[in-house]
Amino acid sequence: MLGKVDFVVLSLVVITNSVHLNSENLSEYPLPLTGLDILDADPFIVGGSAASLGQFPYQAALRTPAGLFFCGGVIISNRWVVSAAHCTINRDLIISFRVVVGTINHSSGGTEFTLSRVVNHPNYNAGTIANDISLTQVAGTFVFSGTVNQVAMGSAFLGGGVNGNVAGWGATATGGQPTTQLRWFQTTSITNADCRNRFNAAGETRAASLVFDHKMCSFTRNGQGFCQGDSGGGFVSNNVVHGIVSWNIPCGRGVPDVYDRISSHRSWINSITGL
């Protein structure tokens, strides 16, 4: 399994460097990878359910100016959204994409916002997917309602055994189109030590080595997990976001899902947003 993981990490570097920011050609906006292993990916959020409008009011969609959905995000204030750096790297010009909130359909409904600022973590590493977190400030202000609202950010280190929800519009096939309606599943956090042990037990030693201390993991059962296109969404428990969807081995294959840990990045987030 080691060689296969290395191949996809290299592919991530090539793909993210190929983005043409000012183009309206949809083929030039590659869908970001959520996984280290893109072979035989299953469709969308695996083992989940369709979401209802207002069920996840903090969920944002990131779309190109031409309207192509490519990642999710989480509302953390009336102007800021947190997402994954692998979604927004090389898209840090404010004309590169839009933020859409207040909808469960990735391509219609809700309110679209242009951008004021995009900040990727300065230590993001495409080769190891380390520090996979970014911040986007919209040009306007979110009007909070039953369908648009913020979540608090986790400040304490989250251990194992905590239930949380993950929502997203994951692709129906690797490199394909996302699902139309937002989907979600409930999962449970596990410790980083348990996470590494599970990857090692599955023969995924390279993946285990990429579970850094600033990452967190979740696992429920074989047949359930996030998939490609769900990147940038959140692990949210009791209206607190603790993790941002980063990578996995698609999808629902009996190994953990991996997120960037919000509590590990709070100082950096505060330095950018004041939150």
DSSP class of 118:
E
d(CA 186, CA 189): 10
29 conformational bin, left if phi > 0, alpha if psi -120 to 50, beta if neither: beta
From the candidates 37, 42, 83, 86, give the one annotated as an active-site residue. 86
Is residue 230 among the annotated active site residues? no
Nearest residue to 228 via CA among 36, 2, 27? 36
Is residue 83 among the annotated active site residues? no
Sheet holding 111-113, edge to edge: 111-113, 98-101, 59-63, 69-75, 80-83, 134-138, 115-120
From the candidates 134, 218, 231, 264, give the one annotated as an active-site residue. 231
Largest CA distance in the chain: 48
From the candidates 37, 42, 132, 260, give the one annotated as an active-site residue. 132
Is residue 6 among the annotated active site residues? no
Q: List Cα–Cα distances, 38 to 99, 171, 214, 229, 247, in angstroms.
A: 26, 12, 23, 12, 11
The token duo for 34 is: 């959520």
Nearest residue to 209 via CA among 187, 192, 189, 190? 192
The residues that are catalytic are: 86, 132, 231
